[in-house]
Amino acid sequence: MWQINEVVLFDNDPYRILAIEDGQVVWMQISADKGVPQARAELLLMQYLDEGRLVRTDDPYVHLDLEEPSVDSVSFQKREEDYRKILPIINSKDRFDPKVRSELVEHVVQEHKVTKATVYKLLRRYWQRGQTPNALIPDYKNSGAPGERRSATGTAKIGRAREYGKGEGTKVTPEIERLFRLTIEKHLLNQKGTKTTVAYRRFVDLFAQYFPRIPQEDYPTLRQFRYFYDREYPKAQRLKSRVKAGVYKKDVRPLSSTATSQALGPWESL
C-alpha cells in the first residue's frame, strides 16, 4: 500500500514516508524548518485517503538522485562530512524513538564537537530530502556558487516508460466495490447533479491512491462502474437522493391517487 520514501500531500502539506513498522507509518513534513518524524497508524492514513485529505504527489527532491558533485568540490566534501556525523543515528533501528534518538544525538555532539541544533538540522535535511547521502548536498545552486557542478535541473520526468499495451482489465473485487460505493455515495447520491463520467474520474483518482502499481490500462472501466451503480442503487433511490425533498414529492414520486380517483364516471368530475 505505502512505499518508503514516497511523498504524499496531507491537507495540502507535503510529507515523506520514512518507514513502515508494525502497522505504523513514520512520516515527516518536508517543508517545515522544524519538527521530527511522527508515527501514524496505517488505518488512519487509509481513512485520510477515503476522505480525500491525503493524496500521492511528485517528489520535489527526486533530481538529487542524479547529482554527483566532483570529488574535489566543496559540495562533495561537505556531503561526506555531514553524512559521517549522522550515520550512527540513521543506521540505528531505534532512530525514530525520541528517547533513543536524543541519546544518539548527544553522542554525536560530543564526538564531533557540534551543537544539537546542527545535528537535528542535518537529520531533518536527510529525512526530508530522500534519505540518501545526496540529501545532504548543499544548495549552492540557489545562491550562485560559481564553479559548482549542477548535473540535473529536475525538469525532466523520471521513471520507467510504460510497457503495457491496452491492458488485461481488472476483476471487480470487494475492495474495488468498496471504492465504487464510496465514490457513488459521495459524488452521485446528492443534489449537486454530478454526471456519472465525472464521478468515475473521482473514482479513478481514489483508485490510483490505493493501487499505485497498477497501470492505468488495467483500471476498472466506466462500464464496470456504471454496472455496479445500476445494480446496487435502484432508480427510485437515485432520483430521491438527487432532488430536493419538496421537488421529489411534487414532481417525481409516483402518484398514490388523483383528484378524480373516487369519481364513478366522467360526468361526476364536471
User: What pLDDT, on a 0 to 100 scale, did the predictor assign at position 207?
Assistant: 94
pLDDT at position 158 over 80: no
User: What pLDDT, on a 0 to 100 scale, did the predictor assign at position 246?
Assistant: 55
What confidence category does residue 68 fall into, taking pLDDT thresholds of 50, 70 and 90? Answer: confident
In the chain, what is the straight-line distance between the N-terminal and C-terminal CA atoms, in Å?
A: 72
Is residue 131 left, alpha or beta, with left meaning phi > 0 and alpha meaning psi from -120 to 50?
Answer: left
The count of C-alpha atoms lying within 13 angstroms of the C-alpha of 44, restricted to the half-sphere facing its C-beta, is: 9
β-strand 7-10 against 24-29: which pairing, if any? unpaired
Q: What is the pLDDT of residues 203-229, one digit of tens each?
A: 999 999 998 888 888 899 999 999 999
Q: What is the pLDDT of residues 10-66, one digit of tens each?
A: 999 999 999 998 899 999 999 988 889 999 999 999 999 999 999 999 999 988 887
What confidence category does residue 241 fall into, taking pLDDT thresholds of 50, 70 and 90? Answer: confident
Least reliable range by pLDDT among 21-30, 70-79, 249-258: 249-258
Least reliable range by pLDDT among 26-40, 47-61, 151-165, 174-188: 151-165
User: What pLDDT, on a 0 to 100 scale, did the predictor assign at position 168?
Assistant: 72
User: What pLDDT, on a 0 to 100 scale, did the predictor assign at position 156?
Assistant: 34
Q: Is the pTM of this model over 0.75?
A: no
Largest CA distance in the chain: 108
Least reliable range by pLDDT among 49-63, 87-101, 174-188, 240-254: 240-254
Three-state DSSP class for 188? coil
pLDDT at position 149 over 50: no
Sheet with 38-41, side-by-side order of all strands: 38-41, 24-29, 13-21, 7-10, 54-57
CB proximity list for 239: less than 8 A, separation 6 or greater: 248, 252
pLDDT at position 120 over 50: yes
User: What pLDDT, on a 0 to 100 scale, did the predictor assign at position 144?
Assistant: 47
270 DSSP assignment? -
User: What pLDDT, on a 0 to 100 scale, did the predictor assign at position 70?
Assistant: 85
- Alpha carbon distance 64, 130 (integer Å): 8
User: What pLDDT, on a 0 to 100 scale, did the predictor assign at position 164?
Assistant: 43
pLDDT at position 99 over 90: yes
User: What pLDDT, on a 0 to 100 scale, did the predictor assign at position 4?
Assistant: 94
Domain ranges of the chain: 6-56, 62-141, 174-251
Least reliable range by pLDDT among 52-61, 63-72, 122-131: 63-72
| Of 256 and 233, more confident | 233
Instruction: Looking at 63-195, list the stretches that DSSP marks H as alpha helix, in order from N- to C-terminal side.
Output: 74-90, 98-112, 116-128, 174-187
